[in-house]
């Protein structure tokens, strides 16, 4: 990869175990240094096991000082099967003693995506005390079309430079999504991509390839300005000539 560290694992389960093990000191250090650990969670299916492992190892986390946010969300209510909030609630939140006030769900109003985005962006700015979101960690997945969060190819959110969180019309799904923008992700101290599955191989080949075409391969947008970028890749997702 052009930037960051690459670690190759046997499978998503071993990625998840490593990520959980590494999350423990990351949270401890953040809490020791700043009194809080702020994490933007990834949606989709890959991170589910990590969230379950965090619940299984819950005694290792100081939940009162961890704040959870969503890097992206679907345009659905929280009890909808497609909701990333619901996925995290079922895998983790229902099983750990995190104060409700520390869980920052995207307040989806399916009828008004623009207002939803503005409201969540205001929440982020208030919580972080300004425009630079110093995440302790942003967790990301990547689609087989090289999207990350809900920064999909050929969508307007890719070019958003003056916003932190936006609604994003995704033609191929004929729906709106809610997403952090690339600048809002790139201010993180740590960004971890968790990626597995042969279907991701071609996208990774392009994302790591020399041709910079972020409109086609939006994961190329993820270049933390000062933070650490970590690619945690299962062997079945590795391009042959990586
Ligand atoms: C979402 C995710 C999205 C996800 C990729 C990979 O809302 O779906 O945030 O960006 O990370 O689509 O999804 P899988 O992990 O299910 O392959």
Compute, in angstroms, the gap from residue 130 CA to the centroid of ligand 1.
Answer: 28
Q: Residues with Cβ < 8 Å from 98, sequence gap 6 or more?
A: 63, 64, 66, 68
Compute, in angstroms, the gap from residue 32 CA to the centroid of ligand 1.
Answer: 31
Helix axes 48-56, 12-34, angle to 10 degrees: 60
Q: What is the C-alpha to C-alpha distance for residues 119 and 178, in angstroms, rounded to an integer?
A: 11
Compute, in angstroms, the gap from residue 149 CA to the centroid of ligand 1.
Answer: 7
Compute, in angstroms, the gap from residue 43 CA to the centroid of ligand 1.
Answer: 5
Q: Is 72 in the pocket of ligand 1 (CB under 6 A)?
A: yes
Predicted confidence band at 240 (pLDDT cuts at 50, 70, 90)?
confident
pLDDT at 2: 59
- Chain centre to alpha carbon of residue 239: 22
Compute, in angstroms, the gap from residue 66 CA to the centroid of ligand 1.
Answer: 23
Query: What pLDDT digit, counting tens, does each position of 94-146 carry?
Result: 999 999 999 999 999 999 999 999 999 999 999 999 888 999 999 999 999 99
This model of the complex carries an ipTM of 0.97
Nearest-atom number in ligand 1 for the CA of 200 is 17
- Closest C-alpha residue for ligand 1 atom 15: 46
Query: What pLDDT digit, counting tens, does each position of 9-43 carry?
Result: 999 999 999 999 999 999 999 999 999 999 999 99
Q: Is 45 in the pocket of ligand 1 (CB under 6 A)?
A: yes
Query: Which 8-state DSSP code applies to residue 180?
Result: E
Tell how many helices (H) and how many strands (E) occur in the chain: 6, 10
Q: What is the C-alpha to C-alpha distance for residues 215 and 199, in angstroms, rounded to an integer?
A: 20
Query: What pLDDT digit, counting tens, does each position of 41-100 carry?
Result: 999 999 999 999 999 999 999 999 999 999 999 999 999 999 999 999 999 999 999 999
pLDDT at 242: 53
How long a stretch of residues is the chain?
A: 242
- Chain centre to alpha carbon of residue 100: 20
Nearest-atom number in ligand 1 for the CA of 71 is 9
Q: Is 149 in the pocket of ligand 1 (CB under 6 A)?
A: yes
């Amino acid at each position: 990869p052009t930037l960051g560290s690459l670690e190759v694992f046997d499978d998503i389960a071993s990625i998840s175990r490593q990520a959980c093990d590494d999350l423990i000191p990351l949270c401890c250090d953040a809490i020791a240094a700043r009194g809080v650990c702020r994490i933007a969670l990834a949606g989709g299916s890959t991170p589910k096991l990590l969230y379950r492992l965090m619940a299984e190892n819950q005694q290792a986390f100081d939940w009162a000082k961890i704040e959870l946010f969503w890097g992206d969300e679907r345009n659905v209510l929280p009890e909808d099967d497609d909701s990333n909030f619901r996925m995290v609630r079922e895998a983790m939140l229902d099983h750990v003693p995190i104060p409700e006030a520390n869980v920052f769900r995207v307040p989806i109003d399916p009828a008004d995506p623009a207002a939803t985005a503005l409201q969540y962006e205001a929440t982020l700015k208030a919580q972080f005390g300004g425009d630079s979101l110093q995440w302790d960690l942003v967790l990301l997945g990547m689609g087989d079309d090289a999207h990350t969060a809900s920064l999909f190819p050929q969508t307007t959110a890719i070019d958003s430079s003056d916003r932190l969180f936006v609604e994003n019309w995704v033609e191929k799904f004929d729906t709106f999504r809610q997403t952090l923008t690339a600048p809002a992700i790139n201010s993180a101290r740590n960004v971890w991509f968790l990626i597995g599955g042969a279907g991701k191989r071609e996208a990774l080949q392009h994302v790591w390839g020399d041709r910079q075409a972020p409109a086609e391969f939006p994961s190329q947008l993820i270049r933390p300005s000062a933070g650490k970028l970590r690619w945690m890749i299962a062997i079945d997702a590795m391009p042959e000539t990586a």
